[in-house]
Amino acid sequence: MHSIRHLAIIMDGNGRWAQARGLPRSAGHKAGINAVHKVLRGCDEHKIANLTLFAFSSENWRRPRNEVRVLMDLFLATLKKELNILIEKNVRLRFVGDISAFDTHLQHRINQAEYQTEGNSGVSLNIAVNYGGRWDIVQAAIKLAQQVREGVLEPEDIDIEKFGASVCLSELPEPDLLIRTGGESRISNFLNWQLAYTELYFTNCLWPDFDVAALEEAVTWYAGRQRRFGQTPEQAKAAT
Ligand code: FPP
């Protein structure tokens, strides 16, 4: 069975989970934090070294102001409350996305959390905030263009490998499996570059209901996939 070195998740369905219970949407986001803990435990069990979660997209600013505020408050409260637990669990926490748009207090907490967990050797937990896959590709293009301007890179030397080294999370293996909860079957501008060969798993389960058993189901589904990376089924079989 091929292993999962990197799992990416679009955590969708918090609002509907709450509404189905007559609760405010914020209650769904809070319940979503419990699901994150469960998945972290599952990653330990399945020896998944890297977990990347889509917590706030660059498009989520379009939500009602109050919901955006609730989400920001929740990120801040979660960082304060959970950082010690993550340190105890040996988790390395990193954020991907343009955090310069956040309030300075939150930016400070984010930097501090990254710094305090930098040396941890357990699961590497990457939280995508104010992240968009197209933004990521554009910021990579800007980096490369700057190198061209500085005279350290020739335009014709830009290739897939160099470009890939400039997008976020380039130091990690690309995601082997993407899980999207909440019943939609789309990528929604998440890791557009990095998901080129990723197996995509969509489930109707709402994010707050996602638990170790639900992860198990996704992992079992993944184990049955044949990853061909453009080769024929026979070639791919011979390569495994
Ligand atoms: C999508 O559900 C979920 C979000 C936009 C927020 C996800 C954030 C969390 C679960 C909190 C995690 C926080 C950390 C720090 C890891 P939705 O609101 O779009 O649900 P709906 O589709 O049912 O409306």
| Atom 15 in ligand 1: residue holding the nearest Cα | 75
Q: Once rounded to an integer, what is the mean pLDDT over residues 135-159?
A: 98
Contact 206, 17 (CB under 8 A): yes
47: left (phi over 0), alpha (psi -120 to 50) or beta: left
Give the active site residue among 14, 34, 44, 60.
60
Q: Once rounded to an integer, what is the mean pLDDT over residues 160-172?
A: 98
Give 192: exposed, middle or buried? Use CB within 10 Å, 0-12, 13-18, 19+. middle
164: CA distance to ligand 1 center in Å?
Answer: 28
pTM: 0.93
**Known catalytic residue at 211:** no
Residue 237's pLDDT band, with cuts at 50, 70 and 90, is: confident
Most confident of 72-81, 95-104, 151-160: 151-160
| Atom 22 in ligand 1: residue holding the nearest Cα | 13
Q: Once rounded to an integer, what is the mean pLDDT over residues 123-129?
A: 96
Residue 236's pLDDT band, with cuts at 50, 70 and 90, is: confident
195: CA distance to ligand 1 center in Å?
Answer: 20
Average pLDDT in the chain = 94
State whether the beta carbon of 13 lies less than 6 angstroms from ligand 1: yes
Ligand 1 pocket mutation, candidates 10, 11, 127, 188, criterion most atoms within 8 A of CB: 11
Measure the CA–CA gap between 123 and 151, rounded to whole angstroms: 39
Q: Check residue 179 and give its pLDDT.
A: 98
Residue 152 has pLDDT above 90, yes or no: yes
Q: Once rounded to an integer, what is the mean pLDDT over residues 101-127?
A: 95
Q: Check residue 171 and give its pLDDT.
A: 96
The residue ranges of every structural domain in the chain are: 6-131+173-239
Measure the CA–CA gap between 72 and 106, rounded to whole angstroms: 8
Residue 1 has pLDDT above 60, yes or no: no
Of the candidates 200, 202, 220, which has an alpha carbon nearest to the alpha carbon of residue 212? 220
Residue 33's pLDDT band, with cuts at 50, 70 and 90, is: very high
Measure the CA–CA gap between 53 and 118, rounded to whole angstroms: 18
Right CATH for 6-131+173-239 from 3.30.2010.30, 3.30.750.24, 3.40.50.300, 3.40.1180.10: 3.40.1180.10
**Known catalytic residue at 130:** no
88: CA distance to ligand 1 center in Å?
Answer: 25
State whether the beta carbon of 31 lies less than 6 angstroms from ligand 1: no
Q: Once rounded to an integer, what is the mean pLDDT over residues 66-76?
A: 90
Residue 234's pLDDT band, with cuts at 50, 70 and 90, is: confident
**Share of residues in the chain with pLDDT > 90 (%):** 89
Q: Once rounded to an integer, what is the mean pLDDT over residues 64-78?
A: 91
Q: Check residue 96 and give its pLDDT.
A: 96
Residue 215 has pLDDT above 80, yes or no: yes
- The minimum-distance atom of ligand 1 relative to the CA of 30 is 11
- The minimum-distance atom of ligand 1 relative to the CA of 127 is 16
Instruction: Choose the weakest-confidence range: 71-85, 124-138, 145-159, 181-195.
Output: 71-85
